Structure 1
Amino acid sequence: MIWVKDIMTPISGSLTETDTCREALRRVMDEEAAGWPVADSAGEFVGIATPRALGRLLKEEGPETSCLGGVEFGPIAFKATLPLETAWSRTFQVAAVSGEDGQIVGILSRSALAVALYQRAEFQVKELEAVLNSAHNGIVVINREGMITSFNRAAERFTHVPKEKALGRHVLDVLIPLGLMETLQTGQSEYSQKFRVGRHTYIMNRDPVKQEGKITGAVGVFQDISEIESVSQELASVKALNRELDSVIQSSSDGFVVTDAAGIIIRTNAAFEKMSLSTAQELLGRRIQELGDGEVYAHSLLDVVLQRKHPVSVTEKKQDHSFLVTGSPVFDEEGRLVRVVINLRDMTMLNQLRQELLESKRLSEKYHLELAELRQRGDTGGMIASSPEMEEVLELIQRVAKVDSTVLLLGESGVGKEGMAKLLHSRSPRAEGPFIKVNCGAIPEQLLESELFGYESGAFTGARREGKIGMFELAHNGTLLLDEIGDLPFNLQAKLLRVLQEREVVPVGGSKPRRVNVRILAATHKDLEEMVRLGKLREDLFFRLNVVPIWIPPLRERRADIIPLLHHFRERFCKKYGLQREFAPDAVEAFYQYDWPGNVRELENMVERLIVMAPGELITLSLLPPVFQSPPEEGGGVSVRALMPLKEAVLEVERQLIERAMAKYGSTYKAAEALGVNQSTVVRRLAKLRRKATNA
């Protein structure tokens, strides 16, 4: 309740006939009052001098005239403890306010009273809106024409219709028929009306809104009862809920309580009374912090809301119940926190939906994987592939990644076998698992077995007391890359074969096998078939590794990748070192013509060297090593870089000539003309070279 004393303008003393018009007007203006009480010589209140009357007197009679001439109203006075509503019912413009002893203590204007009543009404509207939005029940209000005037957050959640699209529209254009139009026509309240929307079941209470005996609207309150239909106490819960749905606040099966900024409870509903084991009479006027843990579940949230000044949600467990507790602050127009609305919801019944939730998660993961696969199409995972040869390799990688077959990556040193292995892992169902790489040629032979398979405690001198897990077990549920598999010692090949066949490992010094779930990738630059022929590699191990062979062509056989790789590495190292470098056209041409015996790795190292050592921003041909600056050989200028059988050398020279002719002219007709052979001969030789590269 707000009293007249709360909004009046306090004053001290009254004006008398000895006070001049100038003095009276100055006092009124200094205090910014709507007027000032005037007393006669006997001290009796005779009226109120207003600024307008004093101003007129000042103009007509002069500033030294007695202020009595500025008294505009009769002796109208209110008690300081008079309610605002009672004061508004009186006819006045300016009134004096008297205390308990009858002395004038303030001035009240009708305009100030109107502002106070408007602010109070506006605050009550905000408070009601906060209560509506805190309820977990959907609430819809329509006017007499059927237009939606109120639509809370729960109604948005249940109907999947935003509030801004619902307000101001006819209810039948927004929602399925809920019976609110019938309530407008009949004026009858209806409770526990059940209806279904899809797989959800709702109950609704409908009540007409009446003003001065006329129906001016209708209110619908509905709740999703799908969860509680499956529990044994469904009927009792619904009946108890129906008895509580007698108003907007009491309609919610969730408990809520409203406190002021000090935590004093000023409003509660039946559900909260039930949760707190208290009656409304016992709760109202008490500080919520004074309620013990055994009585209520919401008091611990209040201090958090007061501190953060924004909505806060927490979960609390009490005995065999779990509660979702939400606290929402309410602010006045000046931004001061004046109310806290706390809502409690019993989430126990939702635990029965655990199996359905697990199924939903499974479907979600399935759709996520499918979506990720769609996004990955066309994505090379950072690999530069502009040539048709590499595009074929990447397409094969994408297909093979979906299965768990063993893959053997073949190619010269530096062609990117490890990068392809990482790409294959990232595109596989094991992408979330570990990717472990073991270089079989970089680990001493005496240590390689324990690194691969691990060892038990005390397996050998210097072994850890707790033993060690091998690379196969570290890669469990993931991918293991056996790099340089051609360097694997012969005495370990049988043990590796057993792991590939049985999918289990036996640590050094152990006797009990351990199951592992690992996808095996192997990589080498060596000719494994030749190693089998020479007895350096077990034939059965070769067949186990060679399930899906993938040949990665050398850079000289996919020259279309050289320039993209050049610019890719230039951008990477310029960004890494904070430099600005560009390659001159003659340098780019030299990069394209060079055969790159070290392949992509050599190209990457060369670009990094030039980026950091170039004296200026432009990298010209003169900055490249001499091997890049040699003019291209004409006629029979071909090279063989290592000793080999004469037959193989002839084939190598033939390969180099055909590749140079194709790189220069781009067609088999022109290449055949330059080489002095038939076009069909070039086609046959190219096919033969490609088959040999694929089978290698």
Structure 2
Amino acid sequence: MGIQLLPQQLVPLMPILDAMSDGVLVVDASGSIIAVNKSMRRFYQGGETPFPGYPLADFNAADWVEAKRVLTSGKPLLGQTMHLPAATVVANRLPILQNGKVAGVVCSMQEISSLDAVVRQLGAYRELDSQLKGLLEALPQAVLVTDAEGRILRVNAPCCRLCAMERDSLQGRNVRELEKDFPELAVEVAHCLQRALPAQSIARCQGRPLLLWSVPSLDNHKKPRFVVVSLMDLERFDYVRQQLEDSRRSAEEAEAVAHGGDIFSQVTQEVGMVVRSAAIRRVVDR
């Protein structure tokens, strides 16, 4: 890894280098400074500030030792910590190559304080990502998430079980790659992305009837960023629905008995009425 430019060719790029928050210093093969940007000069405030035309060793002997290692080996040195007069930085040094030979070195330095902010943001992102994973795994319903190109970003464990596939076999693949085993999924996601509207359909996967419910997440321009697909096993849904219906019916009958008591039994016996339905019992109660 190196830069295919002569050190002097970087000088016209100084307006760009000065706009960078990272400090940049360029030396030639002899160790003479060719260019120094504004951020690098700021890092040296309070001490001798390097400037073009003078040896790097006159300003920072340790920096020159590391730059000379790059000049000698032709290999980059990355992630080294340095203490400059106005900042502690992480330094990266890349060789400048010309016709296969090392013609100089570019020293790029970033303040550790700015890196700390990045690390904190990364930590917050990781925590949010962990929470999202936990939320998806806690759902009893199968869930699959794709990006705007149809590439599968996430699946939860119920989705893996429903599709009878390993997580690694799903995540990272495009839904179009699953057309052989699950053709409706590719059509559903494509439809949702094209219309930027929720979509639903009936599908079959591994012989099971499924209800697919797809919802797009839109950006500020009303364009889909990703699609969340919920997959419901209709056979399991029918079983749960029947269980809930039975529980509701039992509860209604128990409530009717509790409210009717002996009066209800007396009335039905007197008129010779047999009541088995909770709905009819409510009518008789009135």
What is the TM-score normalised by the length of structure 2? 0.50
What is the TM-score normalised by the length of structure 1? 0.24
Higher relative contact order, structure no. (Cα contacts within 8 Å, ≥ 6 residues apart): 2
Greater fraction of residues in strand: 2
